[in-house]
Amino acid sequence: MSKERTFDERPRTRGGALLARWMSKKGFTQKQVASALGVSQQSVSSWLRGDSGIKLAQALRLKQVAGISVEAWLEAAPDDKAA
């Protein structure tokens, strides 16, 4: 059974939330996105969960793949609080 998270769970970063919406709209799986970006499926899963943020190199590739600005992928969510 797959342990893939649903897109209903709210990631803690705007990049993760944006990625979840884009994947849902386009019907892409974590595996497909990982392959397109040259990263592991675990990395994509981590972004979607909000455990880690999208790095510049991946944001540049996401811009090419999704047509969404690098800035949008890298911005933190407005309700994020500094630890």
2 part of a folded domain: no
Query: The domain that contains 59 carries what CATH number?
Result: 1.10.260.40
pTM: 0.74
| Per-residue pLDDT of the chain in tens (83 residues, 90 and over written 9) | 455 555 555 545 788 989 999 999 999 999 999 999 999 999 999 999 988 889 999 999 999 999 999 999 987 544 444 33
Structural domain harbouring 26? 14-73
Whole-angstrom distance, CA of residue 47 vs CA of residue 12: 9
In a domain, 50, yes or no: yes
Within a domain: residue 5? no
Say if residues 29 and 4 touch (Cβ distance below 8 Å). Answer: yes
Number of domains in the chain: 1
Asked if residue 51 is part of any domain, the answer here is: yes
Query: What's the token pair of residue 67?
Result: 């047509």
Residue 40 lies inside a defined structural domain of this protein: yes
The predicted pLDDT at position 75 comes to 79
Is 60 a domain residue? yes
Provide the pLDDT for residue 2.
Answer: 52
- 69 phi, psi to nearest 5 deg: -55, 150
Instruction: Establish if 45 belongs to a structural domain.
Output: yes
The helix/strand/coil state of 68 is coil
φ, ψ at 76 (rounded to 5°): -80, 150
Q: For tokens 């649903």, what's the residue?
A: 6
